[in-house]
Amino acid sequence: MMKVLSVLRRLKLRPKRTVRLVMWTGEEEGGIGAEQYFNTHKGNISNFDLVMESDIGTFKPEAIQFSGNKFATAIMRQVVKLLKPLNVSALTEDFGGTDVEPWQKAGVPAASLKTANEKYFWFHHSNGDTMTVLNSHDVDLCAAAWAVTAFTVANLEHMLPR
């Protein structure tokens, strides 16, 4: 996700609304990092347009998983069309994730990047879970998919409907 901000900065893209990168720990311990961030910022919930997580590995991206109302979903279907050159052409509505769950429960649209993660548990939570096992091309594709999604949504005339 840090690469997403780098891409936007390098391209000198400044959307209408802020794109924020947040990282925390504690998912496996009950989502305590996500819950703490939500509790700290829920007073500004009306300023959060879309929350996105990337939690199933940085493999070749396949689709955007999305949770939102039918109006937000219709808009996101159009956004996903921009990802076709990356072979990310599907929007699925089967998404729920620990890291964004508090936001989803509060009605904020949420998304995750579905990847070809068949090898996820080969490395996850092992001594082999290092940056050296990542495929740099897949990392670039994931960053590009999130950069396009984040910029496009942040640059829409209006926030995604709730």
DSSP 157: S
Burial label, 10 (beta-carbon count in 10 A; 0-12, 13-18, 19+): exposed
Secondary structure (3-state) at 90: strand
**Calpha distance 125→31 (Å, rounded):** 16
- Choosing from 27, 28, 62, 157, which is the catalytic residue? 27
> At residue 68, what is the residue type?
G
- 27 is annotated as an active-site residue: yes
**83, 147 Cβ separation under 8 angstroms:** no
Q: For residue 105, give the nearest of 20, 38, 23 by alpha carbon.
A: 38
Catalytic residue list: 27
